[in-house]
Structure 1
Amino acid sequence: MTVVDSHLPRHAAQRRIGSAPIVWVAALLLGVPAFWPGLEELAAHWTTTAYAHGPVVPAMVAFLLVRALREQTRTAPATGHARFGLPYRLGLPALALGVAGHLTGIGDLAAYGLVLWLAALVLAAVGPANLGRAVGPLLLLVLMLPLPQIVQWETTTTLRLLSSEIAVWVIRALGVPVFLSGNVIDLGVVQLQVADACAGLQFVFPILCFAGFFAILARAPLWQKALMIGAAVPLAVVMNALRIAATAIAVDRIGPSVIGDTAHAVEGWSVLLVCILCLGLLPTLLRAATPVRLRAAPAGPVYDFSTEGIGRLALRARAAAAPRSLIGLAVAALVTCGALALIPDRTPLQPARAGFAAFPLRLDGMVAAPGELDPGIARVLAASDYLDVTFSGAAAEAAPVNLFAAYYRDLSEGSGLHSPTICLPNDGWDITDISTRPVDMTGTPYATFTATRAIITRGRERQVVLFWFEQNGARRASAIETKLRVFRSGILDRRTDGAFVRFVTPIRPDETVADAEQRLADTMRSSLPHLPAHIPL
C-alpha cells in the first residue's frame, strides 16, 4: 500500500493506524452488496471442477502483491497520487457492472465488475509509483472468472475434437485399429465417448492459473515467462489426449471393466498434477539449457519464496494515509449501495405458458412421435422444458421432419443455450453449408424472420437444418445476439426467458435440397401456430 507520511517519526507512524486500511476495508465491504449477484455466480461456479481453483486465486494474488511491493518507494506520492485517475477508470465502470448485474439478474456482469473493483482498490492504495509491480498479480484475478457460457461451449468443442484426434493418432501409432467419428472413438467392440471431462477444458483454467503464478514468481527472462503461460493450454490438451489414448488401449487389451468413475477422476487429477509439475520445472530446465553468458535472469534460485520485508510492508500499510482516489471509490460504493436499496423488486417475470407435454401430436394429417433425450444430454442442455417430436405423413410423407424446442425460464443464469454448430461435430456431422436467410411464415404469429440454415453430412447421410432463438417475442439467428437481447429485455421488460427452435429433415438421394427445404417449410407452417402457447411471445 502507499507509504506513510515521511514527516512522521518511524516508530510513531508504526504505532498508529492510518486512515488507508480503514477506508480500504470499508470500500471492500461496501462492494459486497454492490456485487452480490457476482459473488453468488462465483460461488456456484467454484463448486465445479473447471473452476474449483477460484478460491485459491485471491490468495495467490495477495501473496504476489505483497512480495512485489516489499521494495516499493518510501516517498509519499502526494501530488502524483492525487491526480492518479486509473482507479476511477476501473472502479466506476465496475460499479456500473454491479448495478447491471442487479437489474438484469446476470451474475456474470457483476462478477466481472467485482474483479475490476478489486483491481481499482489495490491500485488506489499502492499509487502510480507501484503500478508496474501490481499489474502482473492483478491480471491473475481474471482467471477466477467463469467464461461466458457460449464461449465455453465453443472452447469445449475445439478442445474435445483436438484431444480426440491426437488420442486416435497415438492409438493408431501403437498398432490398435480405431475409427473416429466426431468425439466417438470406435475400437470395434467398444465405443468410447470423449466427454468434457476428457477434453482438458475442466483443467485448463487451473493449469493456466498456476502457469501465471509460476511465471510471475520465477526469476526468469520475459520470453521464458511468456513461454510458460503459452505452454499451459497445449500441455493440458496433449496430456489429456495421452490419457484418452491410454484408456482406449487399456479397454482394448483388458476390457470395459477398466472404466469407472473413480478411475476417471484419479486419472484427471493426475493429469492436472503432472501439468503443474511440468510448468513448475520449465524455467529450471530452460535455465539449465541456456549458456551462462546468455542468461538474462539473476543468479540464485529460480523461485524466490522469501517473505523478508513483508512485515515492514505491513507496518507501513497499517499507518498509511488514505489517498483521495481510495476515499472517492469508497464514497462511490456507498452511493451505489444507496441507489440499489431504492431500486424496486427486479425479479424476472414468468409469463404464463403450457408445458410441451400439451403440444398436439396430430397436425394437418401429420402424426408426431415424441422422443426423449439421453439423460446426459438433457443435463448439459439444462432446459426448463423441451419438446422432441418427429412428424410423418402428409407434409412429411416423403421423409420425417424433427422438431426440437428447448425453453429456458431464465437465460440470465448459466444455461445450455447454444448453437447446433457447436455440438453437431461431436456426433460426427460435418457442416458443409451454413448461412442465415429470411423465413416467410406469413399467416402464422411469426410472420417473416431470420433463421440459420445448414446442410450437414455424415458419411452418405445428408440433412437440412433450420434453427433460431426466441427471446421476448423476437427471433434471432445467433445465440450471442439472443444473450445480448436478454441484457436489454431484463432491464426494460423484466423478461429473461427464451427458447431454441430447430427443424431437421433428411435429404433423400432421389431429391434436391430445395425439396427437403419445402418439406421443412410445410411442416413449420402447420406446427408454428401452436408454439406460442408453449414459448410465450
Structure 2
Amino acid sequence: MSQIGKTLKTRTANIFICSAIAVICGLLYFVPYSNMLKLWGNEDFAYCYFVPLIAAYLVWEKRRELDRVPSVPSWSGFAVLLPGIALYWLGELGGEYYALSLSSWLVLVGLLWMYLGWNKLKQIAFPMLFLLAMFPLPNVVYSNMSFKLKLLSSQIGVAMIRLAGLTAFREGNKIDLGFTQLQVVDACSGLRYLIPLLLLGLLLAYHFNAARWKKAVLVISTIPLTVLTNSLRIASVGFLYQFWGAAVAEGFFHDFSGWLIFMVSLALLLGEMWLLRRIGGASPAEQSFNIQSGDNVGSRFSWQMIAVVTILLLGTLGASRTLDFREKVPIARPLQQFPMTVGEWQGARFGLNADLLASLHLSDYLMAEYRNPQGKVVSIYVAYNDSQRKGESSHSPASCLPGNGWSFEESGVVTTPGAAGLMTVRRAFIQKSGDRMLVYYWFPQRGRILTSMVQLKLYAFLDALTVHRTDGALVRLITPVENGEPIELAERRLKEFVQLSVPALNTFIPGSR
C-alpha cells in the first residue's frame, strides 16, 4: 500500500475513533450539559456562551505549534481520565451537576493527553483551563460570593457618599440616606461583572508579552477594580437619588449604569496594561523553540488503549443508565399528619402552588405557620425526597432565599436543644425591604443532621454505594424579628420550637436502619 493510502486509512480510522468516543461522551453528559445550557440563559452567566468559542479560537491560534509538535499517544492520560470518571459517579450519585461538569472537563483532558501526548497538550494548556469558566458556579458558592461582595461594595459605597458631603448609614446591605433607603440587591453585588472582567484580564495577560509578575498584577487587579467601580455605581445612585428619585435605581438607568461601569473597568484595565508595558524596560523577547515536526497523521491510539477507553466509557454509560443505586424510601408517615399543636403553639397549614411544587420534585412536604399565646409566629417548612437525584435533591435556603430577594446579613451555625441532647443547625439573619427574619435550617439525612450542601452531596454518594439510599429532608424554621425587638428573643423562640418539634419530626422522617 502506498504512503498516501496508509495516511488516508489512518486519518479515516482516527476520525471514526474520535467520533465514536465523542458520541459516547455526548450521551454520558447529555443531562448535565442540558442543565448547563439552561443556566446560561440567566443574566449572571450570559458570559458562558462566549467561553467555548474563545477557547476554540485560542486553540486555532496554536495551530502552527500543534503541527510542529509530534503526537505521542500516552497511557499517562489515565491519571486524569480515571479521576474524571470517579467525579462523574460522585456527581451522579450525589446529585451534583457541577461535579458532573468538572468530570466532563477531566475526561476531555485525559482523552487529549492519551491521544496527543503531553508535549502537544501543553501547547493548549491555557485554552483548556480557560474552558473551565463555561461551567456556572454552584448556587451556594455563587450566593456566598455575591453576599460578601455586596457587603464590601456597600461599605465602600457609603464611604464615597460621605465624601460627596451626604449623610449615609449602613445596616448590612441597606443604606440609609435620611431621605430614602437603598437596598443593595444581588444584581448590584458586582459579581455579574467580576467574573467576565477576570476572564478578560486572563485573556489580556495571556497575550501580554511581559514578565510574569506583570501578568499576575494585571489579572489580580481585576478584583479590586470591579469592587471599586461597583462601589462607585452604588455611591452614584445614592448621590443622584436626591435629584431624580427612584428612577436612578431601576429600569434603564440601572442597566445602563451597570454596562457603563463594566466598560470603565475594562478601559482602566487596558490603561493598566499600557502602564505595565512601560515599567521595567522593554518586554522580554519571546523564546523560539526548534521543535522537530512529527508525523501527526500517523500517530494514533494503540488498539489496547482504544479498547480500554471504550470499555471504561461504555461501562460508565451503561451502569448509569441501567443500575439503580438508590432505593426509594417512603416517608414513615405522611407529613399531612404532623400535629398542628406543638406545645403551646397552634398551627395552620398552607400549600405550595402547583408550578413551584412540580419544579421541586418533592415526595412529601409540610408548610405551616404556628402562633403562641403572645402572638409570635414561627413558620415551618419540611421538604422530603424519597430518593435524591440530579435536580431532585434538597435545596439549600442559602440558594433559594436570595433568589426571592432576601439578603443574608448573618450566616453561620448554632447549637440548640433537640430530641436527644444538643444538635447543630444552620442559622441565618435575613432581610428584605425592611422586613427582618431569623432562620434555622438543617438536613435530616438517613439518621444524620447535616448543615452544608457539601456534606449532603458526599453522604448521598457514600450512602448510595453502601446502603443504596439517598432519601432525606430539609427542615426550615423562620420567625419574624419585629422592629426594635432584640434578636435574642427571636433566637429563644426558634430554639424552643426546635426542642418541641424535632421529637415529632423524627417519627415522620426515616432515620438510619
Question: What's the CA shift string for 1:59-87, capped at 9, x where partnerless?
Answer: 2222212323422474646xxx35x3442
> Given that residues 190 and 256 in structure 1 are in contact (C-alpha distance below 8 angstroms), is that contact kept between their aligned partners in structure 2?
no
8 Å CA contact 1:469–1:498 kept in 2: the answer is yes
Q: 1:50 to 1:386 in 2, by over 3 A?
A: farther
In 2, Cα distance between equivalents of 1:280 and 1:512: 48
Distance 2:340 2:159 in 1: 46
Alpha-carbon offset, residue 407 of structure 1: 2.7
C-alpha contact (below 8 Å) 2:327/2:470 kept by paired residues:
no
2:279 pairs with 1:290: yes
Which amino acid in the other structure matches residue 236 of structure 2?
A
Question: Closer, same or farther in 2 for the Cα pair 1:452/1:532, shift >3 Å?
Answer: closer
Whole-Å separation in 1 of the counterparts to 2:200 and 2:328: 39
1:353-374 CA distance string (max 9 Å, x none): 7567x8655443334589999x
Residues 199-218 of structure 1: per-residue CA shift (max 9 Å, x gap): 01123222222222222233
1:24 to 14, 18, 27: 18
The amino acid of 2:378's aligned partner reads N
Aligned to 1:143: 133
Counterpart residue number, 1:308: none
Instruction: Count residues with an aligned counterpart.
Output: 486
Residue 371 of structure 2 aligns with which residue?
391
Q: For 2:256, what is the secondary structure of its paired residue?
A: helix
Selected match of 2:113 from 115, 118, 123: 123
Question: 2:85 aligned with 1:95, yes or no?
Answer: yes
For 1:54, the aligned partner's letter is: C
The residue type paired with residue 49 of structure 1 is: E
**Does the residue aligned with 2:371 lie in a helix, a strand or coil?**
strand
Which shows bigger deviation, 154-163 or 476-485?
476-485
Q: Which residue of 2 aligns with 1:177?
A: 167
Work out whether residues 368 and 380 of structure 2, in 8 Å CA contact, stay in contact via their aligned partners in 1: yes
Q: Specify the alignment match of 1:481 in structure 2.
A: 455
**Preserved CA contact (<8 Å) 1:417 1:479:** yes
* 1:106 paired to 2:85: no
Q: 2:416–2:498: 8 Å Cα contact kept in structure 1?
A: no
Asked if structure 2 preserves the Cα contact closer than 8 Å seen for 1:392 and 1:401, the reply is yes
What is the rounded CA distance, in whole Å, between the counterparts of 1:353 and 1:209 in structure 2? Answer: 51
- Displacement, 1:192? 1.3
1:163, distance to aligned residue in structure 2 (A): 1.0
Equivalent position to 1:234, from 224, 235, 238: 224
User: Structure 1: which 5+ residue stretches go unaligned?
Assistant: 1-6, 300-312, 442-446
In the TM superposition, residue 330 of structure 1 has moved relative to its aligned partner by 4.3
Following superposition, the deviation at residue 140 of structure 1 comes to: 0.9
- After superposing the two structures, state which structure 1 stretch, 347-356 or 518-527, moved more: 347-356
* Equivalent residues in 2 for 1:13-412, closer than 5 Å: 13=7, 17=11, 19-72=13-66, 74=68, 76=70, 81-82=72-73, 84-287=74-277, 289-290=278-279, 292=281, 294-297=282-285, 319-324=297-302, 327=306, 328-344=308-324, 351=331, 361-367=340-346, 387=367, 389=369, 391-393=371-373, 400=376, 402-405=378-381, 407=383, 409=385, 412=390
Match of 2:290 in 1: none
3-state DSSP of counterpart to 1:180: strand
What is the CA distance between 1:180 and its match in structure 2?
0.7
Question: Is residue 192–residue 248 contact of structure 1 (8 Å, CA) maintained in 2?
Answer: yes
Q: Which moved more, 1:176-185 or 1:525-534?
A: 525-534
Please tell me whether the aligned partners of residues 326 and 470 of structure 2 are also in contact (alpha carbons under 8 angstroms). no
State the shift of 1:33 in Å. 1.6
Matches of 1:37 and 1:99 in 2, distance apart?
14
State the shift of 1:46 in Å: 1.2
Query: What's the TM-score, normalizing by structure 1?
Result: 0.74
CA deviation after TM superposition for structure 1 residue 255, in Å: 1.0
Deviation at 1:182, TM superposition (A): 0.3
User: In structure 1, what residue type is equivalent to 2:372?
Assistant: S
Q: Determine the C-alpha separation between the residues in 2 that align with 1:463 and 1:240.
A: 27
Contact 2:383 2:394 survives alignment (8 Å):
no
- Specify the SS of the correspondent of 2:44: coil
Q: Distance in 2 between matches of 1:258 and 1:372?
A: 38
- Tell whether the 8 Å contact from 1:160 to 1:198 is kept in structure 2 after alignment: yes
Q: CA deviation at 1:111?
A: 0.9
Q: Determine the structure 2 residue equivalent to 1:526.
A: 500
CA contact (8 A) 2:95 2:457 kept: no
Amino-acid identity (%): 25
Partner of 1:495: 470
Structure number with the bigger relative contact order (C-alpha 8 A, sep ≥ 6) is 1
Residue in 2 aligned with 1:451? 424
Equivalent-residue separation in structure 1 for 2:366 and 2:237 (angstroms): 34
Q: Which amino acid aligns with 1:321?
A: S
TM-score (norm 2): 0.77
Give, as a single letter, the amino acid of the residue that structure 1 aligns with 2:445: Q
Give SS of 1:499's match. strand
Could you say what secondary structure the match of 1:220 adopts? coil
Instruction: Give the counterpart letter for 1:168 in structure 2.
Output: V
